[in-house]
A and B are shown apart, each in its own frame.
Chain A
Amino acid sequence: MNKAQSSKSGAAQESAWETVIGLEIHAQLATRSKIFSGSPTAYGAAPNTQADLVDLGYPGVLPVLNAAAVRMAVKFGLAIGAQIAAQSVFARKNYFYPDLPKGYQISQYELPVVAKGALSIVLEDGTTKRIGITRAHLEEDAGKSLHEALPKLTGIDLNRAGTPLLEIVSEPDLRSAKEAVAYMKKVHTLVRYLEICDGNMQEGSFRCDANVSVRRAGSDKLGTRAEVKNLNSFRFVEKAINYEVSRQIELLESGGRVVQETRLYDPDQGETRSMRNKEEANDYRYFPDPDLLPLVLGREEIEEVRRSLPELPDEKAERFASEYALSGYDAGVLTASRELASYFEALVREIGGEAKLAANWVMGELAASLNREGLEIGKSRLAVGQLAGLLRRITDKTVSGKIAKDIFEEMWSSGRDADAIIEEKGLRQITDTGAIERAIDEVMATNPRQLADYRAGKDKLFGFFVGQVMKATAGKANPAQLNELLKKKLSS
């Protein structure tokens, strides 16, 4: 087969293969201190200033479990309908690496705190799919090796060592890069809803490893997988998986065989590269950490966490759809983050209903302005009260929707309130019937030819008259009133 044929038949080949993906997501828990020590977890401090003797693995020191991290893990478990283990066990994963101070990582192995949960994602065709979550376990992060900072030397920064992580392991239920991204986004939304992770992917607070394999369509046997490590953006997840899938299919099509190995995604080259294969893999010699007692969680403790759960994204979207009569799509967009949802709800409250209007403005002008400046809703230049002030002027017909958009821009850039701008610029809508009629009479008088044409049956000229009257009133004529009066006058 020559190259041209190969690429031409690519799509057909890919449909002959099924992709199987499982994700291991690492969510850094938003605790104030580390999982086994009292050092702070804040990001970006000078190297090794946020590591105490426990984080540095000094002789004689002992780990003490951070109760807040446990609570966060339980929160997550309850939110995905998982089993919360009455007893889970911390184990040591033993390997040597300079940024791993103790020579082992404390993790959970045989008995994780959370097991057997699920999330559902919405596929492109609008259907939903359930993705199983095998387990979620608590563990400590390692430090960082800094290869660039010092010539010919490796620097070690242990600020990150001991940061609490929740590793969320999915079943191999994902069938495409798009599904994987949808699932990862879903988990991302959830952990932020639960306020257990800041979700900051640039800082590595939320990242994943993807286990990717392919098999002949219809086969129920899993193919050999490669694990692509440390993907820290949704875009990289999609690109890395797609690259990996093509690589494996090409390999199998050409009679080769996929090796079980760990691979690294290089975003600059857009490819994955082998890190180490199974033969070189460590034997981690897991065993229960004798410095930590089994983590025992009582029913009451778990129920107490359950009572503290916020309304979850899916529940909220459903409620939005029914309570505010929104489409499923709108409800989904407005509940994508807890902050956005509460902004929307506060806005609806302020303007006394008019949910559709509020939704249109939040998803329209507001979202566009936020996107333009790369801002989160929490950093919006317009407080809920300010936007409400503008929307109230629409509902009480002080301004038209069109004028309101101009006012919004002005508000966004100056931070001033709608009323002040309306007053200063005289944007109050003209609702005085007499004033609108005078404007219409004037336009009719100065455009006799158009008037004649319209009356001769050229209906299209109606728009011309609307435009002229609007121009004459500087856009302030109430559009509905104008329509009504104009129709009456033109045909009389």
Chain B
Amino acid sequence: MSIYRSSLVQLAKGLRAGEFSSVELTRSLLERIRVHQPQLNALVSVTQDGAFAQAAAADRELAAGRAGPLTGLPIVHKDLFCTQGVRTSCGSRMLDNFVAPYDATVVARLKAAGTVMLGKSNMDEFAMGSSNENSFYGPVRNPWDVRLVPGGSSGGSAAAVAARLVPAATGTDTGGSIRQPAALCGVTGIKATYGRVSRYGMIAFASSLDQAGVISASAADAALMLRAMAGFDPRDSTSVDRPVPDYVESLERPVRGLKIGLLKEFFEKGLDPENERRVREALAVFEKLGATLTEVSLPSIALSVPAYYVVAPAECSSNLARYDGVRYGYRCKDPQDLMDLYKRTRGEGFGAEVKRRIMTGTYVLSAGYYDAYYLKAQKVRQLITSDFERAFAQVDVIMGPTTPTPAFEIGAKIADPVTMYLNDIYTIGANLAGLPAMSVPCGFVGALPVGLQIIGPHFAEQRLLNAAHLYQRETDWHLRIPAGYE
């Protein structure tokens, strides 16, 4: 089998067996990136020199018998994780010239684990978007059909993994930004529990919702990555000091008796019937494995999109205030005075969607509107969290579709923000409640992949990965590779 089609688990074995070196692996994938990047635009930076240096170091570790499970494995980081000495653009003109002076905790941990960074992946500007059309570096294309979006905001990571340019990538998920592109690109994505993975060095969009995760070809690979990323970080006050279970060791546990909740509201209006069929077929696989299905209801979930589009912009309007042209990043030419500096720097440095959300967020936090919007949205958020708590008193996991439809055409929804926002209708709830959630490929609608979403209670990553892995042992959707990339 071609090296690029191998999973992380297989690659790790090959490196240990001396079938190939990390340098060879790196060279082969960089060549693959060189060939396909022009069409997909999945990466915004390729860090060839650094990659070879890291690969050579990994080979020395391997030779010395000091290698860990991830040593020598190539990955890419979403371009909102700060990487020391490497441009960290966040998909924005604002940070096009920003070379991070430090590593994000996620980057530092994966570096310490011996991974080789091949580059930084494209994304919607400041992680705001569901189609990856909002990038200063241009849209990412879906490897299943390059006329279509890959989803967003971690669209570059998902497209790169789907096209097998890289076996795994980091991503972040604020309202579905890992799961939705994973579903639309036919790959596996997991977003951890809020507080499970450090946010330090992860450029903030909406601090109370942002959480890191993995996009990979399989749940087993995601487990390998997440085990290295997760854990308490004293530099992130919202990270939780709680031991990280061995996600890899528990992958094979039988799921007999697993109680699966079918989210009633997710199967109601708006869901493409073919998409629904794929999800129900996946559920049947779980039944065959001995799981039981029960219908559960989250009465407040319908309010998740409006609540999200108050809370997330509110936080973003404040988080993005630091981009003022004073200390780093874009600065307008020849500012006349302070106001001019602010106005033109921000006016020229940010794209349309970012500005829309800053405006919305500024509005909902303004005197006289705060109670009606921000406070009310926080109350809705509390209701949704309680809904999930009640549901998890009855079931172990909740399953349903990741998206209402498969990937759509580039340009189809960009002019209509509300239609675009509705793409996140199934994914936002987990962010509002801080829950871990996954998307695994569960078949095709026409020629396009769709995803099964699995949501768990807080800190149930182990259970999600375990269930997803057993499902992937029964199915081969996750092994399908788009035409032209086999």
Contacts and interface: CB of A to CB of B under 8 A. Distances in A.
In this complex, the member of A64, A156, A291 whose beta carbon has the largest number of chain B beta carbons within 10 angstroms is A291
B322 A291 contact: no
Contacts of B88: 59-60
B110 interface: no
A102 B315 CA distance: 13
B365 interface: yes
A49 to B, nearest CB: 15
B374 interface: yes
A103 interface: yes
A101 B237 contact: no
B370 interface: yes
Contact of B366 (A58, A98, A283): A283
B318 A57 contact: no
A63 B315 CA distance: 15
Given A53-B101, A58-B101, A290-B208, A283 B367 contact: yes
B326 A287 contact: no
B464 interface: no
Given A103-B318, A285-B318, A290-B207, A64 B365 contact: no
Chain B CB within 10 Å, residue with most, of A104, A156, A287, A292:
A287
A263 interface: no
A94 B322 contact: no
A61 interface: yes
A464 interface: no
B315 A62 contact: no
Nearest to B88: A59
A285 B319 CA distance: 13
Contacts of B324: 96, 98, 103
Given A59-B82, A59-B100, A102 B237 contact: no
Given A59-B90, A60-B100, A103-B321, A96 B342 contact: yes
B104 interface: yes
A201 interface: no
A102 B322 contact: yes
A64 B374 contact: no
B327 A101 contact: yes
A465 B101 CA distance: 87
B102 interface: yes
B362 interface: yes
B163 to A, nearest CB: 28
A60 B82 contact: yes
A277 to B, nearest CB: 16
Contact of B315 (A59, A96, A290): A290
Contacts of A53: 101-102
B327 A57 contact: yes
A63 B208 CA distance: 14
A62 B321 contact: no
B367 A96 contact: no
A156 B322 CA distance: 15
A376 B170 CA distance: 59
Nearest to B374: A287
A278 to B, nearest CB: 12
B480 interface: no
Given A287-B374, A290-B208, A62 B362 contact: no
A56 interface: yes
A65 B237 contact: yes
Contacts of B326: 98, 101, 156
Contacts of B206: 290
B321 A104 contact: yes
B155 to A, nearest CB: 20
Nearest to A56: B327
Interface in A10-62: 53, 56-62
B328 A58 contact: yes
A60 B201 contact: yes
A94 B234 contact: no
Contacts of A61: 200-201
Contacts of A101: 322, 326-327
Q: Would you call the interface of chain B mostly helix, strand, loop, or mixed? A: loop
Contacts of B372: none
Interface residues of A, number: 29
B203 A92 contact: no
Contacts of A283: 366-367
A293 interface: yes
Contacts of A154: 338
Interface in A277-315: 283, 285-287, 290-293
A287 B314 contact: yes
Nearest to B207: A290
Contacts of B321: 94, 96, 102-104
A64 B203 contact: no
Contacts of A64: 234-237
Contacts of B204: 59-60, 291
Contacts of A96: 321, 324, 342
Contacts of B101: 53, 58
Given A62-B237, A64-B234, A287-B314, A57 B365 contact: no
A287 B90 CA distance: 25
B238 interface: yes
B256 to A, nearest CB: 39
Contacts of B238: 62, 290-293
A98 B325 CA distance: 9
Interface in B310-344: 314-315, 317-318, 320-322, 324, 326-329, 338, 342
Interface in B94-130: 95, 98, 100-102, 104
A63 B237 contact: yes
Contacts of B199: 62
A36 to B, nearest CB: 9
Given A103-B324, A293-B238, A60 B104 contact: yes
Residue from A65, A92, A103, A156 having most chain B Cβ neighbours under 10 A: A103
A154 B335 CA distance: 13
A102 B208 CA distance: 17
B318 A59 contact: no
A291 B207 contact: yes
Contacts of B102: 53, 58
Given A60-B200, A102-B322, A293 B338 contact: no
Most A CB within 10 A of own CB, among B199, B235, B238, B321: B321
B202 interface: yes
Contacts of A287: 314, 318, 365, 370, 374
Nearest to A98: B326
B378 to A, nearest CB: 9
B229 to A, nearest CB: 15
B327 A62 contact: no
Nearest to A64: B237
Contacts of A156: 326
A60 B106 CA distance: 12
7 tightest A-B contacts by CB? Answer: A103-B321, A290-B208, A285-B365, A290-B207, A60-B201, A57-B322, A59-B203
Given A59-B82, A287-B374, 15 more contacts: A60-B100, A60-B204, A61-B201, A62-B200, A62-B235, A62-B236, A64-B234, A64-B235, A64-B237, A98-B326, A103-B320, A285-B362, A285-B370, A286-B365, A292-B238
18 contacts: A53-B102, A56-B327, A58-B101, A59-B95, A61-B201, A62-B238, A64-B237, A101-B327, A102-B322, A103-B321, A283-B367, A285-B317, A285-B318, A286-B365, A287-B374, A290-B315, A291-B237, A292-B238
